[in-house]
Structure 1
Amino acid sequence: MQTILVTGGAGFIGANFILQARKEQWANVINLDKLTYASNLQNLAELETDPNYHFVQGDIGNFELINYLLEQYQPDAILNFAAESHVDRSILNPHDFIQTNVVGTFQLLEASRLYWQKLSSPKQQQFRFLHVSTDEVYGSLQPQDPAFREDTPYAPNSPYAASKASSDHFVRAYYHTYGLPTLTTNCSNNYGPRQFPEKLIPLTILNALDQQPLPIYGDGQNIRDWLYVTDHCEAIYLVLQQGKVGETYNIGGLDEKANLTVVEKICAILDDLAPKSNVHYSSLITFVKDRPGHDRRYAIDCSKIHQDLGWKPQENFDSGLLKTVQWYLANSVWVEQVRSGAYKNWLKQNYENRNS
């Protein structure tokens, strides 16, 4: 069985991937995570007794630590989920995004290159460095524009998107300059269990249950392509196993929805599963001042990964959203653990002073 070094594995997508990897016996896993605010080891509590899963707390920017882990565990692949990932936070504090997404990815690449160059020829042929990125690097689409393709020019509009674009370019450069066998995936908006509740879907679910306002930026017509996290994890593993070295693969949910529509759908599900007497959750919807540089529309053309590797999403948005709401309703202990004072302070900082 392969051994994979997963970075950022205590976050939302990384944790879901690791759980799936161990359940399906895809690989032995070494999980390196810095344990920032959005990381949660409770996501992986069921693996505490798994002898083929190991957790290490640390930063991808720590070159010496990466070197040690590569020598100690001799992984067959590195899967880089580690990133600062929230646009609003990048607007308030871009420095953290540069340090983790740009400098951290560079340090990880450099350590990986040195490790890979010392491997035997057969192991060099088998080794992979897979970098997980975002559709936000492509910028914003108009309503009638075709969806983002792998050859769409980069046009990042937020500090977050710019930092991810930079990391993507470094990954590409390490393949073309040094021959490091890299792969890059650019995904659309993920949703599902275990997502930190600063993102739209879990924020809406939890605010609604608390009878708090449901903030929607601008007119609510910003459109995103929604990808269920389990589908994303399946695609990543497929790219890792069968993707062509040096290539980029776009991964989308093929489900474009306006933000207002998403919130209304959540409200309708909660009206059914957790009704409040004589009150509809949609009455909590509150339009707030838009955030700076808010991209209007994202959409992913994932025909390449479908044609080359045979992948397509199995979950549609309605079925995935229902599963997501049900998970949050059933995991109140997890919810309370992540909604710390720091999280509440951030909500106040980001939303309280926006004009309705």
Structure 2
Amino acid sequence: MSPRREPGAGRPGMYATPRFVVVVLAASVVAMLLPGPVWLDLLAVNLAALVSLAIDVGIAPRPGSLQATWDVPEVVALDRPAKGTLRLHNPTGRRLRVATHEAAAPSTGLYPARQSTVLDAHGWGVLEEDIIPSRRGRLTLGPLTVRTEGPLGLGGRQRSLPLVARLKCYPALPGRKQAELRLQRARTLQSGYRLSPIRGGGGEFDSLREYHPDDEFRRINWRATARSTKTISNTYREERNQQVLLLVDASRTMAGTVAGVPRFEHTLDAGIALAELAGRIGDHVGMAAFGADDPVPPQRPAGVADRADGPGRDGGSLPGPADADEPPPRRRGVGGRSRHRDRGDPRPHDE
């Protein structure tokens, strides 16, 4: 994934290294042991240290001159490690010691966030990092803070580069995998793969047959019975191509955790498993969340699962549970503003 460069950058600054502190303390101890006024010796030591620090910072190269690129995956899985790479290029003709700090939310699971390396003249440096996200949704890495150290090692310059990478974290959805395994196991127990209509308690007419004592009385076809010498009953089969719409609550109460997992993730996992089962029998499954502006219309289960995992082909996705510091979400259900809809179009129409 190519990172984005946000407009603007942080103001440049300077910093002092631990070596500078050690040098100042050691020089101060020596100055206190010398004969003469102590305050005058300490003043001379401090002035010399500040001048050395200013010279070292002035010689240090500007962090903005470095070229930094991120190589991170566009999509990562929840609680699964992923690798990221930070590449730095030294355009100067001298060897540099560079330290980096990547700003990221704790839920991103970025480790290590602070790294350091030595770049040869006109050379490249590669820093590897692990990304183990603990929350589903869109993740952001950056901006990147870079420090360049002076030749004396007393101080250097630092600046935040406008380098930002955006990731998408998809949930694991164990319920969907379990549903697929159970369906495959049920298929292996079948004696053959010949397609046959499923007769049952549905409402779609299938055929006529002779009446059996265990048939329901209301299933008797009196017209066919009048034309025959035997009692005839109707047989029905289960309806197919039904439109199933799953409603998901994305309010603040769904942000609570059960066994370390948010309630919203449990609900989404159960909904995707149900969509998988309903889709395998020929139904079209859709999904809508309270507070979502992008409901998923009824379709085959693969499309529903992709949209629920994260952004689909058209960029839409179901939202995560609302945070506590966010305003209450708009409760937008199936009907929206108007309950009138065309046949076959599950999306609401504005009045």
TM > 0.5 between the two? no
Which category of TM-score, normalised to the shorter sequence, fits these structures? under 0.3
The structure richer in helix per residue is 1
Q: Which has the higher strand share?
A: 2
Relative contact order: is structure 1 or structure 2 higher (C-alpha 8 Å, sep ≥ 6)?
1
Bigger CA radius of gyration: 2
TM-score normalised over the length of structure 2: 0.24
